[in-house]
Chains A and B, each alone.
Chain A
Amino acid sequence: MSKHRVSRRQFLNYTLTGVGGFMAAGMLMPMLRFAVDPVLEAAGGENYVATKQKVDDLTGKPVRLDFSYKQKDAWYESEVTDTAWVYKNDEGKIVALSPVCKHLGCTVDWNTSKDHPNQFFCPCHFGRYTKDGMNVKGTPPLKPLDSYDYKVKDGILYLGSAVPHKEA
């Protein structure tokens, strides 16, 4: 028999504090996590989506680039595919244009009109844009094409959200 005898009262104290502590911790931890969560999350910032395009392979000729991402719409998550027309301009800067016509939202194509080569062409109402995305006067669209924010990481092109063209 040991000399330190634990009394019934002591034993109950220890066990109850122990169990109570665990229970309190179990309740408090998630609360704390929720409180701290926004801080941890904020690092992401804007969402850039990786494309399959290597930056080095880009030329002066616009290429059609499809990229997809998940979009949540109320209770329905779907994979959305967006398209961009990407090329390097004369200064070697990357230009990524949205293919959505500013007239009524059709998809424009590069160099498909025989009468007007080297322009973006909308098949619906024959709207036209020059290579830098500016709308050709006298055709239905009233605004230049949107362009995508982009960044380059490890030689791969990442596209962000489409922003309206800055008024020239």
Chain B
Amino acid sequence: MKLVPKDMEMFEQAREHIDTIIVPLIGVDFGSDTKSYARMNEFLTILSSEIERQFKGRIILIPPFTYIASSEEEAKKQAALDWKSNFLNEGFKHVFFITCDSNWKAVENDFEQTLIWVPAIPLEGLDDTYKRQMMDEQVRQISTIFSQRWQREK
């Protein structure tokens, strides 16, 4: 589900079924890496909305956690973890972070396997059908992470 009134209406009715939140982590940079961060943004936006489509009935995709790419690692991490504990307090069982920014890999351990890092694939100049195929493949691979986690708890 997305954070729109129509979906939230459904959420309120079936709250016990929706126990997972996805937070995209998206960096912004206007220094030397402008383009590569833009690429991550494009890729991750499409990817997360495709994941949302696949798992609409169990996942809420919230607006991305956006940060200045050059800002301090520790502060970013703390803020993201704050989000997580807040959602867990709200009764969600799983909070997943998904990002293309490899800087997060350094603090991966603090996220206890809820940080999913995917390398951004340049989409510009790609054929439309090919683009879609590739995204499908990515979604499928990430899907297994969710499925496994859900199966484990069952």
Contacts and interface: CB of A to CB of B under 8 A. Distances in A.
Interface of A: 66, 81, 101, 103-107, 122-126, 140
B57 A124 contact: yes
Interface in B1-43: 10, 14, 17-18
Q: Which of A104, A126, A140 has the most CB of B within 10 A?
A: A104
B65 interface: no
Given A81-B132, A124-B57, A125-B58, 16 more contacts: A101-B57, A104-B14, A104-B18, A104-B56, A104-B57, A106-B56, A106-B57, A106-B58, A107-B53, A107-B55, A122-B57, A123-B54, A123-B55, A123-B150, A124-B55, A124-B150
A103 B10 CA distance: 11
B143 interface: yes
Interface in B50-105: 53-59
B14 A66 contact: no
Given A123-B146, A125-B17, A105 B132 contact: no
B56 A105 contact: yes
Nearest to A123: B147
Contacts of A107: 53-56
B15 to A, nearest CB: 11
Interface in B117-151: 132, 143, 146-147, 150
A124 B59 CA distance: 9
A100 B79 CA distance: 35
Contacts of B55: 106-107, 123-124
A123 B56 contact: no
Given A123-B143, A123-B146, A123-B147, A104 B132 contact: no
Shortest 7 CB-CB distances between A and B: which pairs? Answer: A104-B57, A124-B58, A106-B57, A105-B56, A124-B57, A107-B54, A105-B57
A101 B143 CA distance: 16
B60 to A, nearest CB: 11
14 contacts: A66-B132, A81-B132, A104-B10, A104-B58, A107-B54, A107-B56, A122-B57, A123-B55, A123-B146, A123-B150, A124-B56, A124-B150, A126-B154, A140-B17
A114 to B, nearest CB: 11
A81 B49 CA distance: 13
Q: Which of A103, A124, A125 has the most CB of B within 10 A?
A: A124
B140 to A, nearest CB: 9
Nearest to B154: A126
A66 B17 CA distance: 28
Contacts of A66: 132
Nearest to A126: B154
A82 to B, nearest CB: 10
Contact of B17 (A81, A104, A123): A104
A125 B57 CA distance: 8
Given A123-B143, A123-B147, A103 B132 contact: no
Q: Which of B54, B56, B57 has the most CB of A within 10 A?
A: B57
